[in-house]
Amino acid sequence: MKKHKICVVGAGMWGSNHIRTLDKLNYLAGIVEIEENLYNKYSKKYSNSKIKVFSNLSSALQSNDFDGFIVASPAETHFSIAKKIIKRKKHLLIEKPLALNYKDAQELYNLSEHNDVNLMVGHVMLFHPAINKMKELISSGKIGKLQYIYSNRLNLGQIRKEENVFWSLAPHDISIFQYFTESYPSRIDSNGGIFIQNGVYDSTITFLEYPENIKGHIFVSWLHPFKEHRIVVVGSDGMITFEDSAEEKPLKFYNKKFKPIDNDIKKFDGPVEKINYEFEMPLELELKYFINHLNDKKIKKCNAKNGVEVIKILEEASNRLVKDYV
């Protein structure tokens, strides 16, 4: 069987993770990097290999050597780069966010459908074994009826100029909320604070209301004294927590709930159960999934439709932020 060849566009901080992982899996065949120092670095590193390094996307596309592309360039370049790749009828995985507005995201989706291209969005947390275990527990009814989800994604930096903290960090959590609820929010509200750069939010809290009275909030900030990545899911019969920023990345079930009994509300405070799961690197699982769908199998997880939904929520929440700011 032919070994698929993948080209990574953008060799910066996150692109380097794709390069390293694909190299390990023996699927890396090309790199595109326009920044001179990075281009020279990878040209030197792979000078004696079959991996080709390009200083522009056009040369990589014209070579016609690749079965799929990974777009890990800055977010503001995603739309223009993805359009060029899709028009060449090449499958691609594009890092989140899919685009910087709903109109562009929808255009990429339509273009991918028209050209019969698998367009996947890098919502890598949906490949985290703990997140998939949480989804399994929710679907099995272990926590009863899903009532509330909240997530905190906090740290000191990395501050960006081209996008605010909400667009930089919240796509992860929005994609998880969509995955857990399997629905679109009926109401979105958002508020935040601007402290460092004019017009760029450093901290935001977004409230989401889903059908069947499911509520949620997402708190993101790059102006926080310590790292905290936490997801809490509350149901009528129990609660689940995942501490992604903790060293052991624990997943726990809390047998805690309130129940109406004899015209009163009784509190049940049961034991905490550690939920075991087999950890694998989410990025590696994501890339394997993408590669396994290069033979024209339709992508179901993190597909373009999912990516467009995330952008639509981001845009609606951002409009609330701007309204409050003005």
State the pLDDT at residue 325. Answer: 54
- Backbone phi and psi for residue 131, each to the nearest 5 degrees, phi listed first: -65, -40
147 to 11, 48, 323: CA distances (angstroms): 41, 56, 29
266 membership: H or E segment, kind and range: strand 264-274
This prediction has a pTM of: 0.93
3-state secondary structure of 154: strand
Nearest residue to 49 via CA among 22, 21, 28: 28
The full DSSP string for 2-57 is PPP-EEEE--SHHHHHHHHHHHHHT-EEEEE--SHHHHHHHHHHTTTSS-EEESSH
* Nearest residue to 151 (alpha-carbon basis) of 247, 207, 229, 214: 229
CB neighbour list of residue 285: distance below 8 Å, 6 or more residues apart: 127, 129
Per-residue pLDDT tens digits for 159-173: 888 789 999 999 999
> In the chain, what are the domains?
6-122 (3.40.50.720), 126-282+313-325 (3.30.360.10)
Helix (H, G, I), strand (E, B) or coil at 313: helix
Query: What's 125's DSSP letter?
Result: G
pLDDT on residue 41: 97
Give the chain's largest Cα–Cα span: 77
- Sign of the alpha-carbon torsion through 192, 197, 202, 206: positive
To the nearest whole number, what is the mean pLDDT of the chain?
A: 94
The stretches in the chain having pLDDT less than 70 are: 1, 322-326
Render 184-217 in DSSP notation, one character per residue: --SEEEEEEE--SBTTB-SEEEEEEEEGGGEEEE
CA 176 vs CA 32, 171, 266, 272: distances in Å: 30, 9, 31, 23
pLDDT of residue 159: 85
Residue 229: how many other CB atoms lie within 10 Å: 19
Give residue 278's pLDDT. Answer: 94
